[in-house]
C-alpha cells in the first residue's frame, strides 16, 4: 500500500497480484480514502484469492460476451436468429461497456427504454444493406418481446458467473413484465374462401392455401415438389426455411413431431396441379431466366421469396381483398380453429399441426368466436330442454 496524491486529495493505493484459474497472472488495483479501508479491502481480496472465490478484473465487453455465448449455443438457425433479436437491445445500448460494470439499474434502464420506445438501433448483426427508410430507433416493445430479451440477458450473465467473470447476475434481479394474453385473430370460412377467390390467378395463391392448411411459414417456403404426391394426394413436411443474418437458410422442422405426411383436400390438389402446370409453362417461356429450385412456392420467374417479403405480401393480399389484417401465422390459427369448431378430434388437430402435446394445441389454437358461442348456447338450451322432457323429473331441493 502506498499513498498517492490526487486532485481530490490523498488516496491509499493497494495492489494485489495473483493467478487466475487458467494460470495467467493478474493485478487488482484500487484506491481508498483511508488506510483502514485499504487494509480491509486487501485482506478480503487476499482471502478470496486463497479460497478461489475472487473474481479478477476483466476487460471483456458486453458485445464480446454476447458473441461468445452465442457461439457456444447448439441451436437451430431460426432460434439463433431469434436470440440475436432478443439480445440486440443489450448490445446496442451497452456493447462497449465492460461486463463487470453492468448493474441492475442498467438492465432496468434497458427495459424502460424498450417499453417506452426510442432505444437507438446499433450495428450489431444489422442487415448488410439497410434501406433508406430503415428505423434509427425502436418502437415501443410489448412484454412478450421484452421478457425474452431479459431471459437471454440472464442466460449470458449466468454463463459469465459460471466462468467466474462476474460476481452476480444483474439481469436476474430485474423482474419480468406481466403479460396480458392477446386474443388471436382468425379468418372465418367465408373469409378464407374470399381470399382464395381474390388470389386465384397469382403465383402466391398456393402459398396462402398451404398456410391456411395449417403449415408454418417456414414449412410452406421449404416445400419441394418431390414432397408432393398428386396421385396419392399427400404432401410431406420435412424441412423449414427461415431468415438468418445475411440471408435465408433451409434446415430441419421446428420439432421432430413437425415432420409429417398429410392427406390433401381436393381443392388443394387442384390448386397444386394448376401451379405446377403454370410453372412448367413459365420455364418454357423464360428458358435460362427461370430459377429452377424445385420449390412449390416461387414467383413468376421462379425466384424464392424471402420469408419476410412473403409475410408482407400476405398482408397486402388481405388488404386488397378487403379482409381483416391478421398475421400470416394466424392462417395456422384459422385452420386449427375451423377444424376445432367443426368437431375434429383434438388429437387429430395436434397431429395435423405437428404438435406432440394435444393440450398445447387446445390452449394455443382452440379459439371460440361469437358465432360458435351463440351456436353453443342454442345447443345447450336444446340439450337441457330435451333432457327435461325425457326424464320427466324435477330437481329436488
First to last CA, the chain: 89
Q: Which three cell numbers stand for residue 299?
A: 414467383
Per-residue confidence at 108, pLDDT binned at 50, 70, 90?
A: very high
pLDDT band at 391 (very low <50, low <70, confident <90, very high): very low
By three-state DSSP, how is residue 239 classified?
coil
pLDDT reading at 254 higher than 90: no
Overall average pLDDT of the 191-219 stretch: 94
Residue 227's pLDDT is 96
Q: Which CATH class is domain 62-173?
A: mainly alpha
- Are 340 and 346 in contact by the 8 Å Cβ rule? The answer is yes
Crossing angle of helices 189-198 and 307-320, in 10° steps, is 100
Gap between the Cα atoms of 62 and 153, Å rounded = 10
User: Which long-range contacts does 212-216 make (Cβ < 8 Å, 24+ apart)?
Assistant: 212/187, 212/331, 212/334, 212/335, 213/262, 213/264, 213/265, 213/268, 213/335, 214/332, 214/335, 214/336, 214/352, 214/353, 215/332, 216/240, 216/254, 216/258, 216/329, 216/332, 216/354
The predicted structure's pLDDT at residue 248: 86
State residue 394's pLDDT score.
Answer: 42
**Buried-state track 245-258, b at ≥16 Cβ within 10 A, e below 16:** eeebbeeebbeeeb
Q: Which of 66-75, 161-170, 192-201, 237-246 has the lowest mean pLDDT?
A: 237-246
Confidence of residue 276 (pLDDT cuts 50, 70, 90): very high
Q: How distant, in Å, are the alpha carbons of 16, 146, 168 from that of 40?
A: 13, 41, 22
Q: What is the pLDDT of residue 396?
A: 43
> Torsion-angle region of residue 9: left (phi > 0), alpha (psi -120 to 50) or beta?
left
User: Which of 258-262, 273-277, 380-384 reaches the highest mean pLDDT?
Assistant: 273-277
Q: How confident is residue 180, by pLDDT bands cut at 50, 70 and 90?
A: confident
What average pLDDT does range 83-100 have in this prediction? 95
Greater model confidence, 76 or 63? 63
Question: In this predicted structure, what is the pLDDT of residue 390?
Answer: 44
Answer yes or no: CATH 1.10.730.10 is held by domain 189-334. Answer: no
pLDDT average, residue stretch 106-127: 92
What's the CA gap between 12 and 5, in Å, rounded? 9
The yes-or-no verdict on residue 110 having pLDDT over 80 is yes
The reported pTM is: 0.66
Give 320's strand partners. Answer: none
**Confidence bin at 392 (pLDDT 50/70/90):** very low
Three cell numbers at 118? Answer: 426510442
Of the given ranges (44-48, 287-291, 376-380), which has the lowest mean pLDDT? 376-380
Amino acid at each position: 500500500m502506498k499513498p498517492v496524491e490526487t486532485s481530490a486529495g490523498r488516496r491509499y493505493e493497494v495492489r494485489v497480484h495473483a493467478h487466475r484459474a487458467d494460470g495467467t497472472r493478474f493485478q487488482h488495483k484500487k484506491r481508498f480514502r483511508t488506510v483502514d479501508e485499504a487494509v480491509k479491502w486487501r485482506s478480503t481480496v487476499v482471502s478470496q484469492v486463497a479460497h478461489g472465490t475472487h473474481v479478477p478484473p476483466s476487460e471483456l465487453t458486453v458485445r464480446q460476451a454476447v458473441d461468445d455465448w452465442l457461439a457456444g449455443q447448439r441451436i437451430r438457425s431460426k432460434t439463433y436468429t431469434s436470440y440475436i433479436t432478443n439480445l440486440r437491445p443489450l448490445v446496442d445500448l451497452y456493447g462497449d461497456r465492460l461486463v463487470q460494470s453492468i448493474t441492475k439499474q442498467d438492465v432496468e434502464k434497458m427495459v424502460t427504454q424498450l417499453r417506452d420506445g426510442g432505444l437507438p438501433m446499433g450495428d450489431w448483426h444489422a442487415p448488410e444493406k439497410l434501406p433508406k427508410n430503415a428505423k434509427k430507433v425502436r418502437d415501443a416493445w410489448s412484454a412478450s418481446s421484452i421478457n425474452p430479451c431479459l431471459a437471454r440477458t440472464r442466460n449470458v450473465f449466468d454463463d459469465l458467473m459460471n466462468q467466474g467473470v462476474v460476481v452476480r447476475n444483474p439481469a436476474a434481479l430485474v423482474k419480468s413484465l406481466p403479460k396480458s394474453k392477446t386474443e388471436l385473430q382468425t379468418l372465418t370460412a367465408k373469409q378464407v374462401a374470399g381470399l382464395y377467390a381474390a388470389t386465384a390467378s397469382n403465383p402466391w395463391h398456393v402459398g396462402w392455401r398451404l398456410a391456411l392448411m395449417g403449415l408454418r411459414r417456414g414449412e410452406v417456403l421449404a416445400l419441394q415438389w418431390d414432397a408432393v404426391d398428386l396421385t396419392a394426394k399427400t404432401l410431406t413436411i420435412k424441412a423449414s426455411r427461415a431468415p438468418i443474418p445475411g440471408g435465408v437458410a433451409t434446415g430441419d422442422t421446428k420439432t421432430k413431431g413437425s415432420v409429417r405426411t398429410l392427406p390433401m383436400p381436393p381443392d388443394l390438389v387442384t390448386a397444386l396441379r394448376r401451379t405446377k402446370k403454370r410453372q412448367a409453362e413459365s420455364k418454357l417461356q423464360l428458358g435460362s431466366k427461370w430459377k429452377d429450385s424445385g420449390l412449390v412456392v416461387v414467383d413468376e420467374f421462379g425466384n424464392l421469396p424471402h420469408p419476410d417479403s412473403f409475410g408482407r405480401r400476405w398482408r397486402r393480399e388481405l388488404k386488397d381483398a378487403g379482409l381483416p389484417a391478421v398475421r400470416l401465422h394466424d392462417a395456422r390459427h384459422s385452420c386449427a380453429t375451423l377444424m376445432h369448431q367443426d368437431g375434429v378430434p383434438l388429437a387429430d388437430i395436434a397431429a395435423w399441426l405437428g404438435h406432440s402435446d394435444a393440450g398445447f394445441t387446445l390452449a394455443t389454437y382452440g379459439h371460440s368466436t361469437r358465432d360458435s358461442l351463440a351456436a353453443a348456447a342454442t345447443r345447450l338450451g336444446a340439450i337441457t330442454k330435451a333432457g327435461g322432457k325425457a326424464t320427466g323429473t324435477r330437481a329436488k331441493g
